[in-house]
Amino acid sequence: MATSIGDIMAALGTRLNAIDGLRGYGYAPDNPSPPCAFPLVPDIGSYREAMKRGTYVIPFQVAVLTGAQLDRTGQKSLAGFVSQTGTASVRVALEDGDKTLGGIVNDLVVDSFTSRGLEEVGLVGYYGGLFTVRVIATGV
């Protein structure tokens, strides 16, 4: 049976929550409390190609937000989450942890990170960016 998008998002949130000092969510929260990370509902270019029988690949975006109250602190925190190695690294938490997300997908790869700089969500400012995470799962 194919894994649902919601199940994959929840499992990504669980892996992100394993990073000490980072709040991982399986959804985009209404009022994010930094530092936090969460997957966004992915774009599906073509259901026929993306979710055909066999395996399929879906590129998820994972947002990371850190506080902007103190510029230096927020940027330093974000740099730790973006680092290739270290205990705060999102790449390490996702790729070096359980890449099957508890057995619901076949594999995942952290492809890239795009810095978004200073972002505003409502009336609050954050430093943030987006990881692209390629998830490979079994189709129907």
12 contact partners, CB below 8 Å, separation of at least 6: 24, 26, 39, 60, 62, 94, 101, 133
Say what the pLDDT of residue 140 is: 63
Say what the pLDDT of residue 70 is: 62
Backbone φ and ψ for 62, nearest 5 degrees, come out as -115, 115
pTM for the whole thing?
0.89
Task: Decide if 9 contacts 27 (C-beta within 8 A).
Answer: yes
Say what the pLDDT of residue 22 is: 96
Compute CA distances 39 → 28, 60, 90, whole Å. Answer: 7, 7, 12
Residues in the chain predicted with pLDDT less than 50, given as ranges, are: 1
Say what the pLDDT of residue 46 is: 63
Residue 33, SS3 per DSSP: coil
Backbone φ and ψ for 46, nearest 5 degrees, come out as -150, 120
